[in-house]
Amino acid sequence: MSKRGLRTTVWLGVALGAACLAAFAWNAPWSEIGRVLAGADGTLIVLAGGFLLMTSVARAWRWRHLLGEAPVSFRHRLSSTLIGFAGNNTLPGRLGEPLRCWMLSRLDRRIDFWRAAGSLVVERVFDLTAAITLLGIFLLLAPAAAATDTALIRRIDHDAVRIAFVVVVAAGGLVILAGRRIGGRGGRWSGLATRLEALQSGFAGLHSLRALALTILYTGILWASMVTFELLMLRAFGFTQLGLAHAVGLLVVLCFAIALPQAPAGLGVVQIASQTTLTALYGVPLAPAKAFAIGLWVCQVGIVVGAGAVALWAEGYSVADVRRARGSIGAFEAPVSPE
C-alpha cells in the first residue's frame, strides 16, 4: 500500500472510530454503567486475562511450524508476537503486523522480513478458517443463543457463505503458490522477484503434513483460549444466563468488526460491536451491555499493550526504535540497533 493509501485508510479508521464512539456515548446512563463496572468480579477478570495471554503463547507455538525448519527460539517468537499485537493496539493502520515481522527479523537475523510476512499470510488463512468454523457453530446454535434480532442472524448467515468462499479460494491459492518457484527474473523485476521468493519461503509450513497438523492443533488451542476469555468476561459482569454459544457469537462478531478500518485498539468499533451483540442478539439491557463493552476493551487493551511493553523492554528495544521502523515496509527492513 502506498503512503497516501495508508494515510487515507488511517483517517477513515479514525473517522469511523470517532463516529462509533460518539454513538456509543450518546445518552449513555453513566451512573448505572459505573455501578456495573464497580460490581464486576475481579477474580474472573484476572483469570480471563490469563487466557488472553495464552493466545499469544499459542501463536508463538504455531509460528514455529509456519516458519518450517527455521530454528527460531520460542522467546523470540513470543516477544515478536506480543510486541506486534501491542503495536496493533497503539499504532494506526494495523502496523502491528509488519512490526511483528520486523521484530522477528531483528531478533533472529536468519529470518528475512518477507519470510516472516509470508508465514503471517498463512497464519491469517488459518485464523480466518477458524473464525468461519466458529461462525458456523454459532449459526447452528443461534436459535437457542439469540434473543431478539433474527433478521441480523439471517444477514450473518448469508455473509458467512461469501466469507467461506473467499477462505477456500485463498487457501487454494496459497497451496498452488507454495509449490511454484518464483525467481529467475532479471533487470527491473529482479528486486520484486527476490521479495516474492522470500515471501514464498514463509509458506514452508504448507510442505509438511506434520507441520500442518500441529498448526491446526495450536490454532484450536488459540481460538479455544479466545472463546474462554470472552466467556469469563461475560461471567465477570454477571451475565450468568449467557453461555458458551453466546461467547462464540460475541467473539465472531468482534473478529469481523475489527477487520474494518479503525482507530488504534479498535476504539469505538469494539464498543459498538460488543454492545450491539449483547443488546440485539442476546437481549441484555443497555447499561450492562455498555459497561461490559467498556470493561472488555480496557481489559484486552491493557493486557496486550502491557505485555508488549514488557517484551520490548526485555529484548532491549525502545519505543523510539519502533517509531523509526513504522513508516513503511522499506523502513521495517532498515536495520535498527537495540542500543
What grid cell was written down for 317? Answer: 528495544
User: pTM of the predicted model, to two decimals?
Assistant: 0.82
* 70 belongs to a structural domain: yes
Give a yes or no: residue 92 inside a domain. yes
d(CA 95, CA 88): 6
- Taking only the tens of pLDDT, the chain with its 339 residues reads 556 656 676 677 778 888 888 999 988 899 999 999 999 999 999 999 999 999 999 999 999 998 887 789 999 999 999 999 998 888 776 788 889 999 999 999 888 888 888 889 889 889 988 988 888 888 877 655 555 555 555 565 555 556 555 655 665 565 555 555 555 555 454 455 555 565 666 666 677 888 889 999 999 999 999 999 999 999 999 999 999 999 999 998 898 887 766 677 788 889 999 999 999 888 899 999 999 999 999 999 999 999 999 999 999 998 888 877 765 444 444 333 333
* 268 located within any domain: yes
- Give yes or no for a contact between 137 and 248, defined as CB atoms under 8 angstroms apart: yes
Cβ(294)–Cβ(284) below 8 Å: no
Angle at 269 between CA 268 and CA 274, to 5 degrees: 100
Contacts of 244 (CB under 8 A, 6+ apart): 227, 231
Q: Answer yes or no: is 191 within a domain.
A: yes
Amino acid at 298: V
Domain count, the chain: 1
Domain boundaries, position 292: 29-333
> Is 23 part of a structural domain of the chain?
no
Q: Is residue 3 part of a domain?
A: no
Is residue 194 one of the residues assigned to a domain? yes
3-state secondary structure of 214: helix
Cα separation, 127 vs 133, whole angstroms: 10
Tell me if 104 is assigned to some domain. yes
Could you identify the residue written with the cell 499469544? 56
